[in-house]
Chains A and B, each alone.
Chain A
């Protein structure tokens, strides 16, 4: 490979400029503000502020509520990612076998992705709200003590299902594409050797889907971490008793409801570190084990 040399010294920078400007304005600048805020203690109105060093970080990390929130986030993210990927894979393999009306099924299954998180949250809330939800009413009539307003596990289940539901379409799309890329000849050869459906799936299809699965795992984890704020805000508001308060929700709650900007900023800095570490880990260690054909 020969290194490319531009004859013009300025042009490459000009071409890069829009992307750099966007990154600086929408990423580096807010991130630097968060870093700056995280070492200050300030009243909500910004009338008085003082440098407190790492006191905000110490306070956050020694707060049992923060560790609780971390646990909640791990449970929520893993459950959401696994549930939505499992259901999407099931639907994708099913859609792969359908002969007639394939496109209609696929199109319909993609629709939920277009729903905004807050709207998705409202949809599930209307179905399962103990005061007015149709399904909540049915559950209670059948003897299930359904009350996500007080039962933390039920509230968690509700936000996981709502968050996973929204992401199924996206995963479905990638799994369908992944399935189409698997050579038919491999599967036919296995059939001739006498492998049945389940065996063909686990020994041939699933390993060959690994790159797709890995990619989706990363995307879904990031989604569950950051993009589910709207759902949690609409469905549970982090309650009951912090049972569904994820790290991102806690940043919002401490900053914008409790007006503790320093602590909120410190938390978002920690969140930044977590995400950088998580992504680095996934790409360095997990990716090596994935079988790329």
Chain B
């Protein structure tokens, strides 16, 4: 009897507790993201810290697959009027989001709705430029930004008789080093690169201060024609194609697959995102870090950020916007940003977080970790180096990748590949903005 009564009490109290918590329920804000592994843990931890810090809002992170899959999930959700509060969109998807006029609320407006003042000067200029409209309105919140750098295998350098403390600075130096490494047998392949589109065309153009396309590479307007069939690109890609013939350069794939070739010791030089650092540290390789190479007389200018930013959909309630604003304000806090930068290898988004990291002596202990920031911040961006924004950049990247693959397979030379790629990409851009 007592036992029975006890159960009733338990059930009743549990029920009333449920009711009570319902009455006080926090506004839920879903955050769709594409972060895996260690980066996923960071996302969960940030959401938890934010949720614990206040009780009015609850950020719920949801993993939605790869970057393109997350973007597509967000678009599909918007079409069926089920859009999440916050959507993480990768660099190449920024133009797609921007094309959806009215579907998005600029991050500055979101913060204003939450009663915060949005001060652009707090953020790293390169990142602000990349995520802003031509009139200076910042559109999305830069969550994880990275920049391409050069990694090299110190053991292979020593074996090939190269100076293991001096990474090659220019592209001709990289090609020479790669040939020496291959010829000496220090490793089976001299040089490889991840993301040929992002690193060897988009960042290549910015870093060497040559146009990738018209209209400030798309930042000044949607109507863009690619300019990557210019002589500097042709020269660069022909050099890579020539190295590919005898295996001095090896192709890994369209995204970050080539990292494997470097970590397995097969290739001695790699250009890859600074975000790939974690895996390379884990591989236990005796590696060094250098700046992204350039061509003498052109670069170095500044690199453009990769990674992803957080977008906010339009048509939400004021309460939700207030919550999102609180969360973004939380994310911009110096200690959060500094920690994010130091654990994940992504760039700090605010200047204060950068200063804080500098002061803590982190860069002295971890040489090379400042390189991607210095690359991006070294010089004020020119019209060639603010970024690349196309309404269909993912599609354009695919078109170019196909041409690069045909070129590296020896089916055509660099001139033909880049001319054809530019032509096809321009047609695709024209079709996309004709929508």
Q: Is B79 an interface residue (CB 8 A)?
A: yes
Q: Which A residue's beta carbon lies closest to that of B433?
A: A43
**Would you call A258 an interface residue if the criterion is a C-beta within 8 Å of the partner chain's C-beta atoms?**
yes
Once the chains bind, are B68 and A241 in contact (CB under 8 Å)? no
Q: Is the CB of A239 within 8 A of B405?
A: yes
Contact with A45, one of B79, B254, B398, B402 (Cβ below 8 angstroms)? B79
A151-B409 in contact (CB<8A): yes
Q: In the bound complex, do residue A42 and residue B398 qualify as a contact, i.e. CB atoms below 8 Å apart?
A: no
> Chain A's nearest CB lies how many Å from the CB of B68?
6
Question: Which chain B residues in 292-342 approach chain A with CB under 8 Å?
Answer: none
Residues of B with C-beta under 8 A to A240: 402, 405-406, 409
CB within 8 Å for A241 and B395 given contacts A45-B79, A131-B264, A150-B408: no
Indicate with 1 or 0, residue by residue over A141-159, a CB within 8 angstroms of chain B CB atoms: 0000001011110000000
Of residues 76 through 117 on chain B, the ones whose CB sits less than 8 Å from some CB of chain A are 78-79, 96, 99-103
15 A-B residue pairs with CB within 8 Å: A44-B75, A45-B75, A45-B103, A47-B100, A47-B102, A131-B264, A150-B251, A150-B408, A239-B254, A239-B402, A239-B405, A241-B406, A257-B394, A258-B392, A259-B395
Chain B residues closer than 8 Å to A241, beta-carbon distance: 402-403, 405-406, 409, 411
B401 neighbours in A (Cβ, 8 Å): 239
Q: How far is the CA of A107 from the CA of B434 in the complex (A)?
A: 57
Alpha-carbon gap, A152 to B6, bound state (A): 72
How distant is the Cα of A108 from the Cα of B431 in the complex, in angstroms?
A: 52
Given A241-B405, A241-B409, A258-B394: A149 in contact with B260 (beta carbons within 8 A): no
Binding site for A on B (CB under 8 A): 68, 72, 75, 78-79, 96, 99-103, 251-254, 257-258, 260-261, 264, 266, 392, 394-395, 398, 401-403, 405-406, 408-409, 411, 428, 431-432, 434-435
CB closest chain-A residue, reference B99: A43
Please measure, in the bound complex, the distance between the C-alpha atom of A222 and the C-alpha atom of B278, giving whole angstroms. 44
Q: How far is the CB of B228 from chain A (nearest CB, A)?
A: 17
A43–B261 Cα distance when bound, in Å, is: 39
Task: Considering the complex, give the chain B residue whose CB is closest to the CB of A50.
Answer: B435
Query: Known contacts A131-B257, A239-B254; can you find 8 more A-B pairs with CB under 8 A?
Result: A44-B100, A45-B99, A131-B252, A149-B253, A151-B409, A239-B405, A241-B406, A256-B68
The verdict on A166 contacting chain B, using a C-beta distance below 8 Å, is: no
Within the complex, the shortest CB–CB distance from B404 to chain A, in Å, comes to 8
Find out whether the CB atom of B409 lies under 8 angstroms from the CB atom of A47.
no
- Chain B residue numbers with a CB within 8 Å of A253 are 398
Closest-by-CB residue of B relative to A145 is B247
- B residues less than 8 Å from A260 (CB atoms): 395, 431-432
Give the residues in chain A near B68, CB-CB below 8 Å: 256-257
Closest to B80 in A: A46
B257 touches A45 (CB 8 A): no
- Closest Cβ–Cβ distance, residue B378 to chain A (whole Å): 33
CB pair B264 A132 closer than 8 Å: yes
A259 to B75, CA, bound (A): 10
Cβ–Cβ < 8 Å partners of A237 in chain B: 254
A48: Cβ under 8 A from any B Cβ = yes
| Chain A residues whose CB sits within 8 angstroms of the CB of B395 once the complex forms | 257-260
Q: A106 contacts the other chain (Cβ, under 8 Å)?
A: no
Cβ of A242 < 8 Å from any Cβ of B? yes
Q: Which residue of B lies closest to A262 (CB)?
A: B435
Complex interface: chain A residues within 8 A of B432 (CB): 260
A45-B103, A132-B264 are known contacts. Are A257 and B435 too (CB-CB below 8 A)?
no
Q: How far is the CA of A260 from the CA of B96 in the complex (A)?
A: 12
- Contact between chains at A259 and B103 (CB < 8 Å): no
Q: State whether A131 and B402 are in contact (beta carbons under 8 Å apart), knowing that A45-B100, A47-B103, A149-B253 are contacts in the complex.
A: no
Partner of B96, one of A42, A151, A242, A259: A259
A107 to chain B, nearest CB (A): 36
What chain A residues lie within 8 Å of B409 (beta carbons)?
150-152, 240-241
- Asked if residues A41 and B435 are in contact (CB atoms below 8 Å), the reply is yes
Q: Distance (Å) between the CB of A57 and the closest chain B CB?
A: 15
A43 to B78, CA, bound (A): 12
Q: Are A131 and B254 in contact (CB under 8 A)?
A: no
Q: How far is the CB of A125 from chain B (nearest CB, A)?
A: 11
Residues of B within 8 A of A42 (CB): 435
Nearest-CB distance from A187 to chain B (Å)? 51
C-alpha gap A48/B100 in the complex (Å): 9
Q: Scan residues 208-262 of chain A and give those whose CB is less than 8 A from a CB of chain B.
A: 237, 239-242, 253, 256-260
What is the CB-to-nearest-CB distance from A49 to chain B, in angstroms, rounded to a whole number?
A: 9
From residue B266, how far is it (CB to closest CB) to chain A in Å? 8
Report the nearest B residue to A49, measured CB to CB. Answer: B435
Residue of A nearest to B434 (CB): A41
Q: How far is the CA of A253 from the CA of B392 in the complex (A)?
A: 13
Q: Compute how far the CA of A41 lies from the CA of B435 in the bound complex, rounded to whole angstroms.
A: 6
User: In whole angstroms, what is the CA distance A152 to B407 when docked?
Assistant: 12
Q: Which of the residues B99, B251, B264, B402 comes within 8 Å of A242, measured between beta carbons?
A: B402
Contact B260 A132 (CB under 8 A): yes
B434 nearest CB across to chain A (Å): 8
Give the CA-CA distance A52 to B435 in the complex, in Å.
11
B417 and chain A: residue at smallest CB distance: A241
Interface residues of A in 51-98 (CB under 8 A from B): none
Whether the Cβ atoms of A48 and B435 lie closer than 8 Å is yes
Smallest CB gap from B401: residue in A: A239
Asked if B251 and A149 make an inter-chain contact with CB atoms under 8 angstroms apart, the answer reads yes
Nearest residue in A to B252 (C-beta to C-beta)?
Answer: A131
Q: Which residue of B lies closest to A46 (CB)?
A: B79
Chain B nearest Cβ from A63, distance in angstroms? 10
- Per the bound structure, the CA–CA distance linking A220 and B252 in Å amounts to 33
1/0 per residue, CB under 8 A from B, across A164-199: the answer is 000000000000000000000000000000000000
Closest B residue, CB atoms, query A151: B409
- The answer for the CA separation of A240 and B78 in the assembled complex, in Å, is 33
In the assembled complex, the CB of B427 is this many whole angstroms from the nearest CB of chain A, namely 10
Compute how far the CA of A39 lies from the CA of B364 in the bound complex, rounded to whole angstroms.
61
Residues on A with C-beta less than 8 A from B435 are 41-43, 48
| Residues of chain A lying within 8 A (CB to CB) of residue B252 | 131, 149
Tell me the complex Cα distance, A152–B68, Å.
24
* A256 to B74 Cα, complex, angstroms: 12
A43 to B75, CA, bound (A): 11
Task: Indicate the member of B99, B252, B402, B411 with the most A CB atoms within 10 Å.
Answer: B402
Known: A45-B100, A131-B260, A150-B251. A258 touches B398 (CB 8 A): yes
